[in-house]
Amino acid sequence: MMTDQARPVDRDSPMPLWAQLHDDLVRRLTAGGFAAGFPGEHELVDEYGVSRHTVREALRRLRQAGVLDSARGRRTAVHQQRIEQPLGALYSLFDEVQARGMRQRSEVLTRELRVDVAVAARLGLDPDTRFVHLERLRFADDEPLATDRVWLLAELARPLLTTDLTGTGIYSELARHGVRVTDGEERIHAIVPTAEQRRRLGIGRGVGLLAVERIGRADGRPVEWRETFVRGDRFSLVAGWAPHRAYQLRVADGSPLRSPAGR
């Protein structure tokens, strides 16, 4: 028998039927079962030969434990792991996905050499500065997670025009060519996705996006402007705090994020 197939309940066991069902569903989930979707109540009743009350109690416990997600009018689904972003530290979405045991993949939608006056102004650079511009669709375990648009100084990032970025991160590729992004600033705010963003990311109308605007610097020099739009149901912001060393919250004034060099 395959490890992700149902095991029959033991009606002679002192363990309640709902608990046996609960434990077997956890076992099957751990073994990678239900890849095509979690079954409904009636399917589980038929598969295990138990009452609907037994199934509902097992599912209730799984929801309480955060294993399953469900809402009125929506099919029960396996809870998806969130990607966590630490506040106050340079991070890579690529590394965060990999660190959680998920496979990261990027689909490059746009790759070109271009001049962008607005981006140059944000970075405090000359209007005719040339950039390597990339647009990507980011995946975690083959599920769309985010889209991003990146502008990098062409004099430093030109090798990315011919680099395969499917399974690697921009920062790691830049480092291979001696360019290390070491610090910067970010602004993060919630937005309502457009119809095109919902289509690309495979989300419904009830899911919002977090828009992440980033200026990246190398050795104090602004070299990157990035806009990332990440699914709000798969992404969390995490901050540590301690007495006399608290993080700060500010009310956004609506002004664009700019490099100090451009102020």
Average pLDDT over residues 19-39: 81
How distant, in Å, are the alpha carbons of 107, 188, 237 from that of 233? 21, 15, 12
How distant, in Å, are the alpha carbons of 80, 93, 99, 184, 212 from that of 258? 35, 22, 31, 10, 14
Closest CA to 210 of 185, 234, 226: 234
Q: What is the pLDDT of residue 26?
A: 82
Q: Is 259 exposed, middle or buried (0-12, 13-18, 19+ CB in 10 A)?
A: buried
pLDDT band at 179 (very low <50, low <70, confident <90, very high): very high
Residue 257 has pLDDT above 80, yes or no: no
Please name each of the domains of the chain with its CATH number. 17-78 (1.10.10.10), 83-262 (3.40.1410.10)
180-220 pLDDT, tens digit per residue, is 998 888 888 889 999 999 999 988 888 899 898 999 999 88
How distant, in Å, are the alpha carbons of 95, 221, 223 from that of 211? 19, 24, 20
Which tokens is 64 given? 């309480």
pLDDT band at 123 (very low <50, low <70, confident <90, very high): very high
Per DSSP, the three-state class of 95 is helix
Spatial distance between the Cα atoms of 126 and 193, rounded to a whole number of angstroms: 32
Which tokens is 36 given? 């095509």
Spatial distance between the Cα atoms of 142 and 135, rounded to a whole number of angstroms: 18
50-71 pLDDT, tens digit per residue, is 999 999 998 888 877 667 776 5
Spatial distance between the Cα atoms of 106 and 219, rounded to a whole number of angstroms: 27
Spatial distance between the Cα atoms of 37 and 219, rounded to a whole number of angstroms: 48
Spatial distance between the Cα atoms of 173 and 189, rounded to a whole number of angstroms: 28
Q: How many CB atoms lie within 10 A of CB 150?
A: 21
Spatial distance between the Cα atoms of 156 and 140, rounded to a whole number of angstroms: 28
